Structure 1
């Protein structure tokens, strides 16, 4: 049974810049120790504020859940049909209700108007990083 007070707008904590850099650097080192070259694995995805605000603005939304997902992409990063291109790890952002359910997840099997949307296919880093600090 889900604790109804568990999901609210203040879950999570802010990190210092140093802690954030340390965590992302640790991930990068781990991937390189596993044999990946620095620019061959995803380090992040960028999502625009308008898209995030639309997701947060959905009825009953108290926050966002971020899933790890997979999709097939061509060499330019465009989504292609299943079985074509390369299967890549990508993030999927979903609005969440106070009871912990995903907004697109309607237990009655009906979709409410405005529900059903999730956010994905952000700009993947390193392809679209700009010039991040070397630790990111």
Structure 2
């Protein structure tokens, strides 16, 4: 049995070719359309800036990031709205991860400030902000 700490380090993940990346994302889009979604009506990607990602990676004890699938209520312009309002949309939530596999964020509930940018979310979505080619 592999020790848990061996699974969380700076070299986890595989580089893939552009061809493989396009094939995977094309497969996703095709599957959604087979499920009845119209083209450009579902989120295919989110863009996050390098400064924001580097902020997470620069946190004490951070060896990588974990990307969660999440949902939030949004209006037609992708602005957050209250629960039950607008439309519930899929969005990414990115957090730093320690070598023991634990997420690096504190629950600021009850604290004076709201934390220091514990998690990253609300990137620019595609199809709204897709590559031009």
* TM-score w.r.t. length of structure 1: 0.86
Q: Quick one: distance in 2 between partners of 1:92 and 1:6? A: 21
Equivalences, count: 126
Higher relative contact order (CA 8 A, sep 6+): 1
- Structure 1 outlier segments of 4+, above 3 Å: none
Q: 1:12 offset after TM fit, Å?
A: 0.2
Q: Deviations over 1:83-105 (max 9, x none)?
A: 11111010000000000000015
In 2 relative to 1, CA 97–56 (structure 1 residues): closer, same or farther, beyond 3 Å? same
Structure 1 segments unaligned to the other structure (5+ residues): none
Contact 2:106 2:118 in 1 (8 A): no
Contact 2:75 2:87 in 1 (8 A): yes
Q: 1:5 offset after TM fit, Å?
A: 1.7
Greater CA drift, 123-132 or 88-97 = 123-132
Q: Quick one: distance in 2 between partners of 1:78 and 1:115? A: 22
What is the aligned partner in structure 1 of residue 41 from structure 2? 40
What is the aligned partner in structure 1 of residue 129 from structure 2? 128
The reply on whether 1:9 has 2:10 as its aligned counterpart is yes
Q: Which structure 2 residues correspond to residues 22-41 of structure 1 after superposition, within 5 A?
A: 22-41=23-42
CA RMSD of aligned residues (A): 1.9
What is the aligned partner in structure 1 of residue 82 from structure 2? 81
Q: Quick one: distance in 2 between partners of 1:121 and 1:43? A: 14
The reply on whether 1:19 has 2:16 as its aligned counterpart is no
* TM-score w.r.t. length of structure 2: 0.88
